Amino acid sequence: MELMTVAKTAAGADGVPPVPGAPLPPGVTPITELKQQKRSSRTLSKAVSLHLEGKLESAARLLNKAIESGERESGLYSALGHIQYEMHDYEAAAATYVQLVGLDPGHRTAYFNLGVCQGNLKNWMLAAEAFRNAIEADGTRSDALLGLGISLIHCEDPAEAIEPLEKYLTLFPENQQALFAKAVALQQTGKAASAVEFYRKVLSRNPRCEEALSNLVAMFLDTKDGESVRRYAEMLAELQPESAVALEALATLAFNEGDYLTAARHCRNLAELAPERFENWFNLGVAYHKMGNYQKAAQAYEQAAGLSPKSPQVYLNLGVTQQELSDLAAARTAYEKALELDANQPDVLWNLALVLEQQGERNWAEKLYARVPEGAPEWCDATFRLGYLRLMRGDYGPSAEAFQSCLARRSDWPEAYLNAGIAYARAGDGDQARRCFQETLAIRPDSSDAVRGLAALALEQENYEEAYDLHQRLIELGERGPELYYNAGLICQKRGQSSDAVGYYQQALNEDPQFAEAMLNLGHALMAMGQEEEARSYWRKAIREKPELAQMYFEPPMG
């Protein structure tokens, strides 16, 4: 009997066909995957060749085409991301690395490279997340610690940044970038002394590190350490003469020291380097203003106003310089512009009111003085001017109230007491007027105006004894003038002291030879002394000088 052979089938060793979809034995790669790997290797080989020739765009197109055709080899994504990064197309590179980590979550470099791309895109939260994933994927990836620390600083979380930076510095204690990053983190967490120490470590390794010098300048400006500011600002200026940080710091020092000439020089350099920056022109204006060079200050403020036409402060300063230049019309225009931008600026209200007063527009000035808020530094002065303008237009009660408001704030203000006394006197309130004049003398004993006010009150009340003493005090204070001598003579005449009256009337005429009233009353005093001819001579002169005095010829002397 002939033996028959059994044909081989696709069964296993036991003759059982394999189950479709069952896993392959370990180490065995499906033929389709092998073909794909081979195809991907050829693509990568071509991409490398193109890269070596500097044909980055061609290499990227080749890799993109392969991926779009269905090739899923991680090496293709890694290569494409690398080339896109070199081409500075960080957004495309980041998208490629996102695809790569989706394809291969354990990829050794994908997360780190993704973090670098996100950092270049300023997506710091995403960068920090990628660096954390990189650290989890590869614990030996120390540069991910540095990337994480820097990203957290940019995320405004410097406290959390310190730990990864310290870990990195444990491994690489001399790394300048890490030292600088830790210095920034310490500075931002308020640990100024430690931050300075780390910035100095950076400078000891690289004395030309402008960033470290700039941050030290900023820190010492905050702490008002002028000596250290100058040291580091000058170092920075030596490295970079056009450094805005250095010039601004040196200008600040000059302003603080009252060296406005040096401040103007630095501010002028800043304005030339960055003419589009409002602050440069404004500060230059302030420097010239402080120097008293109002013409140049006004020019600088005008440049600043052109750059920032919505700044009320620049129009205020411009108005002040124009006011100093006696250009009241231009000053008024500037103040009105400032008031349009901010209707409640006390200093603008005050300065504009002063200009209006100088221009004779007292009613409007008075309204502006009244608008100055009570909490403003200008309030007392504005209220004083308000009282004065009311006094000038004869509104005596409200005038006195304004001066009393000033005194409620400043009880040692002699001018306010004096003017309040004048307002009360003209309002007919002699008692309050006397009190205010006396308060003036208590503060300023040599105030001839207050003595004159009391003397006038004494004359009104016909208290000739007091009036005489007060006029004597005025003369002792060095006061002179025909009216003073005339009143002294009149008082003496009222007291029956004709001889003394003659002397004072003659002194009045020495001061003003055409003082007709003095001539007339001198005649009466001489007549009382029996010197009739001489009396008649003075009467004739008085009536010739002022005919309307003829009616007083027959009357006793009057004030």
DSSP 312-353: HHHHHHHHHHHHHTT-HHHHHHHHHHHHHH-TT-HHHHHHHH
What pLDDT score was predicted for residue 90?
94
The whole-angstrom separation of Cα 284 and Cα 264 is 6
Banded pLDDT at 26 (limits 50, 70, 90): very low
The answer to whether residue 185 scores a pLDDT higher than 70 is: yes
The answer to whether residue 13 scores a pLDDT higher than 50 is: no
Can you tell me whether residue 69 is helix, strand or coil?
A: coil
Question: Residue 536 domain-assigned?
Answer: yes
The answer to whether residue 552 scores a pLDDT higher than 80 is: no
What pLDDT score was predicted for residue 555?
61
For residue 521, give both structure tokens.
């009353």
Banded pLDDT at 37 (limits 50, 70, 90): low
The whole-angstrom separation of Cα 334 and Cα 207 is 48
CB atoms within 10 A of CB 15: 8
User: pLDDT digit string (tens) for 207-237?
Assistant: 999 999 999 999 999 999 999 999 999 999 9
Find the helix packing angle between 448-460 and 464-476, rounded to 10°: 160
What pLDDT score was predicted for residue 554?
62
Q: Higher confidence at residue 392 or residue 4?
A: 392
> Average of pLDDT values for 533-539?
90
Q: What one-letter code names the amino acid at 443?
A: I
> Average of pLDDT values for 322-334?
97
Contact 206, 198 (CB under 8 A): no
For residue 526, give both structure tokens.
């001489």
Question: Residue 404 domain-assigned?
Answer: no
> Average of pLDDT values for 519-548?
89
| 513-538 burial code (b ≥16 CB/10 A, e <16) | eebbbbbbbbbbbbbbeebeeebeeb
SS (H, E, C) 127-179: HHHHHHHHHHHCCCCHHHHHHHHHHHHHCCCHHHHHHHHHHHHHHCCCCHHHH
User: pLDDT digit string (tens) for 54-91?
Assistant: 999 999 999 999 889 888 888 889 999 999 999 999 99
What pLDDT score was predicted for residue 40?
67
Angle at CA 83, nearest 5°, toward 80 and 86?
150
Residues, the chain, total?
A: 559
Can you tell me whether residue 394 is helix, strand or coil?
A: coil
Q: Does the predicted model carry a pTM greater than 0.85?
A: no
Question: Residue 505 domain-assigned?
Answer: yes
Banded pLDDT at 437 (limits 50, 70, 90): very high
What pLDDT score was predicted for residue 35?
44
What pLDDT score was predicted for residue 9?
32
Question: Residue 85 domain-assigned?
Answer: no
Angle at CA 262, nearest 5°, toward 259 and 264?
105
Banded pLDDT at 556 (limits 50, 70, 90): low
Nearest to 488 by CA among 516, 525, 514, 513: 525
Taking the CA atoms of residue 524, residue 527, residue 528 and residue 531 in that order, the dihedral angle to the nearest 10 degrees is 140
The whole-angstrom separation of Cα 437 and Cα 435 is 6
Domain that holds residue 532: 490-559
What pLDDT score was predicted for residue 87?
94
What pLDDT score was predicted for residue 19?
35
Rg (the chain; Cα; Å): 47
Banded pLDDT at 32 (limits 50, 70, 90): very low
Can you tell me whether residue 204 is helix, strand or coil?
A: helix
Number of domains in the chain: 1
Angle at CA 208, nearest 5°, toward 202 and 209?
50
- CA dihedral sign of residues 221, 227, 233, 235: negative
What are residue 419's phi and psi, to 5 degrees?
-70, -35
Find the helix packing angle between 244-256 and 210-222, rounded to 10°: 30
The answer to whether residue 370 scores a pLDDT higher than 60 is: yes
Q: What is the CATH number of the domain that holds 525?
A: 1.25.40.10
Q: What one-letter code names the amino acid at 151?
A: S
CB atoms within 10 A of CB 283: 24
The answer to whether residue 201 scores a pLDDT higher than 70 is: yes
User: pLDDT digit string (tens) for 455-484?
Assistant: 999 988 888 889 889 988 988 888 888 998
> Average of pLDDT values for 270-297?
97
Question: Residue 387 domain-assigned?
Answer: no
Q: What one-letter code names the amino acid at 349?
A: L
DSSP 418-473: HHHHHHHHHTT-HHHHHHHHHHHHHH-TT-HHHHHHHHHHHHHTT-HHHHHHHHHH
Q: What one-letter code names the amino acid at 79?
A: A
Question: Residue 293 domain-assigned?
Answer: no
Angle at CA 469, nearest 5°, toward 465 and 473?
165
The whole-angstrom separation of Cα 224 and Cα 253 is 9
Question: Residue 290 domain-assigned?
Answer: no
Question: What is the average pLDDT value for the chain, to the nearest integer?
Answer: 89
> Average of pLDDT values for 243-260?
96
- Cβ-based neighbours of 140, under 8 Å, separated by 6 or more: none
Nearest to 176 by CA among 143, 209, 149: 209
The whole-angstrom separation of Cα 111 and Cα 77 is 13
What pLDDT score was predicted for residue 476?
87
